[in-house]
Structure 1
Amino acid sequence: MTPAARVQAAIEVLDAVIDAAKAEGAPADRILADYFRARRYAGSKDRRAVRELVYGAIRALGPVPGNGRDAMLAYGRADPAHHHLLDLFDGSPHGPAPIEAPLTDNGAIEARPGLAPDWLVAALARSGVAGEAAAALMGRAPLDLRVNTLRTDRASLDLPEPGEPLAAPQGLRFASGTRAEEWEAYAQGLVEVQDHGSQLACLAAAARPGEMVVDLCAGAGGKSLALAAAMENAGRLIACDTDKRRLGNLAPRAARAGAGLIEPRLLDPGREREALGDVAGKADLVLVDAPCSGTGTWRRKPEAKWRLTPRALRGYAALQDRLLDIAAALVKPGGRIVFVTCSLLDEEGAQRACAFLSRHEGFAARPVNLPLGTARGEGWRLEPLRDGTDGFFIAILARPC
């Protein structure tokens, strides 16, 4: 592919990403994979270059662009280092059509630089995330691994690359793009891909051998696997979700990790209480890793900023309240709820914990003691800039004995 053809390919991918953001469609990485699956002629260098252009434009632009062409033009204008891209709008074969509007006319291009849509930038600022802390959300995340203590431990593990030991007891960090899933250690279940912040959230949960634990929003089971390791395969761990496809990924992952105590349980949306009636009032720990806006994961999924709307944010907050109320009915006297969101918005963190405590008399927030992060309301927050993790809010909500 010529350089101009790569720009045109990036424009086409961005068109699909923008459409998907408006329709809650496929994520950018899947769109890219599908795009090149249909274009086998593109070599690895071409795919890498187009990917860099697509994600560079997403990270650089604020509001959702009108289309991929406007997005790429704005990206080219935003930084002198990218001005050469504008020269590639030359009408050459397989390249983008020439620029017709003068570049000095800002009104000619809908897209503009920024962190995110204006309302979302303001919401982050109200939540104490602004300036460099906000800019860090558009950085690139490293690859973090958790060593699976059901199979081995960090001190004795031999990997193709050494990795940087992290504050989490079994955490290792590698450069972004490290293909750890191709390692024999991964195939043998010795390591799992898990962000350092997610590992610390599981550390805060403090699951112990012999406990009854409910992972209420298990998804594909990353945190369930970490809890199983902390429990040393002793006790009972029920991993729940309403998404059959995602939960279906847990069984093979658990088998690879040797996590034999995990019991996957598919829930019917809106009827979760009935499906969990047998464990009501019996759980030592209920982990509520609730669906959220994902503002803390923008380093990995930058297009998520274009998918969020004020209405969707209100919907997430309402869902989080409902899940916490379900968890309150499951936890036994003396037990605890650990509420986690991968969000930096107080609407999905400190405000939700405070609202829960106001609804449930007797529950109290316990201190969160982690080697990274800082207190936020009745909980704890991890941030990319300060802590080098994805953004997380963590609260421990204890039921009295």
Structure 2
Amino acid sequence: MTPSARLQAAIDIVDQVIFAASAGGAAADTLIARYFKTRRYAGSKDRRAVRELAYAAMRRAGEMPASGRAALLGLAQDRPELLGLFDGAPHCPAPITAGDVPAPAGLAPAWLADQLVKTLGADELPALLERAPLDIRVNRLKATRDEMLAALPDAVAGSLSPDALRLPEGTNVEALPAFAAGKIEVQDEGSQLIAAACGAAPGRLIVDLCAGAGGKTLALAAAMEGKGRLIACDVDRPRLSRLPPRAERAGAGLIELRLLNGSREREGLSDLNHAADVVLIDAPCSGTGTWRRNPESRWRLTPVRLDRLRSTQAEVLKIGAGLVRPGGRLVYAVCSLLDGEGRDQVDRFLHAHPGWARLDPLRAGRVHGAGRRLTPAHDGTDGFFIAVLGAPC
């Protein structure tokens, strides 16, 4: 592909991302994979270059651009070398005209940026849209970190999680023999700390209430060393169905799957009432802490959707609390940096549930209300709020 053709491909991809963000469609990484699946002529260098252009344009545009062309024209304001690629050649962008309006640069839609300034301060905001590092978690069921450091000479040990390694950007993790053998999993170091906050140990009964595809479930399984009972729950069948093959590769045979009815979760969990040693709630959230990986998610969020998410979080907290045994542990986490989804949720819960106490097993991040907050600028991880609460005895 010529440089101009690569630019046009990036425009086409951002057009698809904009449409998906408006219609509730697939995420950018999924759309990019689909795009190149039908374009076998694009080599690996072409794919990397197009992906870099598309993501750079999306990161730059705070408000949703009018089009992919507007987004890439905006990027060209910062990279003048791109301007000459709008040359009108076949399969290339049309020449720039007086009617073209480049997308303005920004952090996020104004209403959302204002909230983040209040909770984080302006100095930390730029890091929310930097490129994310590539972190992996060593699976203790099959390997040690020292073994993986020897096997992966380009890896660097993480500073926060004892199982974390950081690999060079662009590493194809799935092509590594260690991945095929189930010795490593891709997982942000901050996400690994959420599992660590659970204090999982052999013989315990642990419920991962919003397990999704099971990244944290697998970390919990490793800490449990195959002994005990680990129940992975979710209301999303497609996401939960991705866990069994991952668990098989990881050698995590103790995981039980439980698909819940979205309107009748309590019924589906009634046999676990006041029985669990630990309940992990990795709650559905805005994802403001993951913009480095999913910059287009800024355009999907609206005040109405945020209100719905906060309502869901409060309800899931109540459900999870009812499963914890006396003296057990409830871990609440969101990959959000908005206080309404993190600190304020837990404050309201503690006010409504006397006897529950704040625990603080982590030493990473900064104390924030009844929990701790990790941010890209301060900790080099995705953004998270993590609270660990002890049930009354």
TM range (shorter): over 0.9
- Paired amino acid for 2:131: R
1:245 to 235, 238, 247: 238
- Per the alignment, residue 57 of structure 1 pairs with 57
Secondary structure at 1:293's aligned position in 2?
coil
| 1:148 aligns with one of 139, 157, 165 | 139
Give the C-alpha shift of residue 2 in structure 1: 2.1
- When normalised by structure 2's length, the TM-score is 0.96
SS in 1 for 2:233: strand
1:73 aligned residue: 73
- The unaligned stretches of length 5 or more in structure 2 are none
SS of 1:70's equivalent?
helix
Q: SS of the counterpart of 2:385? A: strand
Distance 2:328 2:196 in 1: 16
Alignment match, 1:369: 362
Deviations 1:112-163 (A, max 9, x none): 10111111111111112422x1111111111111111111211233423351
Distance 1:119 1:110 in 2: 21
Q: Does structure 1 residue 84 correspond to structure 2 residue 81?
A: yes
- Match of residue 225, structure 1, among 201, 218, 221: 218
Cα distance in 2, alignment partners of residues 286 and 204 from structure 1: 11
Task: Map 1:88-237 onto structure 2 (within 5 A).
Answer: 88-101=85-98, 109=101, 111-131=103-123, 133-157=124-148, 158-166=150-158, 167-237=160-230
Verify the 8 A CA contact 2:72 2:102 in the aligned structure 1.
no
2:326 alignment partner, SS class? strand
Checking the alignment, whether the CA contact within 8 Å between 2:154 and 2:168 is kept in structure 1 is no
Does the CA contact (< 8 Å) of 2:62 and 2:106 recur in 1?
Answer: yes
Q: 1:394 aligns with which of 377, 386, 391?
A: 386
Q: 1:303 aligns with which of 296, 302, 322?
A: 296
Cα shift readout 1:19-52 (whole Å, capped 9, x = no counterpart): 1111111111111122222222222222222111
| d(CA) in 2 for partners of 1:137, 1:296 | 7
**Pairwise CA distance, 1:397:** 1.6
Question: Deviations for 1:30-75, whole angstroms, at most 9, x for unmatched residues?
Answer: 1112222222222222222211110010111110011111111111
Offset, 1:110: 6.0
- What is the distance in 2 between the residues matched to 1:90 and 1:256? 49
What is aligned with 1:282? 275
CA distance in 2, matches of 1:354, 1:144: 31
How many residues align structurally?
A: 391
| Equivalent AA in structure 1 for residue 66 of structure 2 | G
- The residue that corresponds to 2:20 in the other structure is 20
Q: By how many angstroms is 1:319 displaced?
A: 0.6
Displacement of 1:304 after TM fit?
A: 1.1
8 Å CA contact retained: 1:368, 1:395: no
Q: Note the aligned Cα RMSD (angstroms).
A: 1.4
TM-superposition CA deviations, 1:216-269 (whole Å, max 9, x none) = 000111101111111122111100011111111111111111112110111110
Q: Match of 1:348, SS?
A: coil
Are the equivalent residues in 1 in contact too, given 2:279–2:329 (CA < 8 A)?
yes
**Structure-2 separation of matches of 1:68 and 1:62:** 14
Runs of 4+ in 1 over 3 A off after TM superposition: none
Whole-Å Cα distance in 2 between the matches of residues 336 and 397 of structure 1? 6
Give aligned-pair identity as a percent: 55
CA contact (8 A) 1:140 1:176 kept: no
Determine helix, strand or coil for the equivalent of 2:169.
coil
TM-score w.r.t. structure 1 length? 0.94
Equivalent AA in structure 2 for residue 258 of structure 1: G
Alignment partner of 2:200: what SS?
A: coil
Partner of 1:34: 34
Q: Report the secondary structure of 1:95's partner residue.
A: coil
Structure 1 partner of 2:5: 5
Q: Is the 8 A contact 1:285 1:335 kept in 2?
A: yes
Residue 372 (structure 2) aligns with: 380
Confirm or deny that 1:329 pairs with 2:322.
Answer: yes
The amino acid of 1:85's aligned partner reads: L
AA partner of residue 152 (structure 1) = A
8 Å contact 1:373–1:382 — kept in the other structure?
yes
User: In the TM superposition, what whole-angstrom CA distance separates every residue of 1:87-121 from its partner, at most 9, and x where no partner exists?
Assistant: 2222222222222217xxxxx52621011111111
Match of 1:263 in 2: 256
* Structure 2 residue aligned with 1:105: none
- Indicate yes or no: 2:247 matched with 1:254: yes
Matches of 1:292 and 1:356 in 2, distance apart?
17
Q: Deviations over 1:324-350 (max 9, x none)?
A: 000111111111110011111111110
Distance 1:92 1:201 in 2: 51
CA contact (8 A) 1:365 1:397 kept: yes
- Change beyond 3 A, Cα 1:160–1:378: closer
Other structure's SS at 1:116 match: coil
Distance 1:328 1:140 in 2: 36
**Match among 349, 352, 367 for residue 356 of structure 1:** 349
Q: Which residue of 2 aligns with 1:347?
A: 340
CA distance in 1, matches of 2:39, 2:103: 28
CA contact (8 A) 1:127 1:344 kept: yes
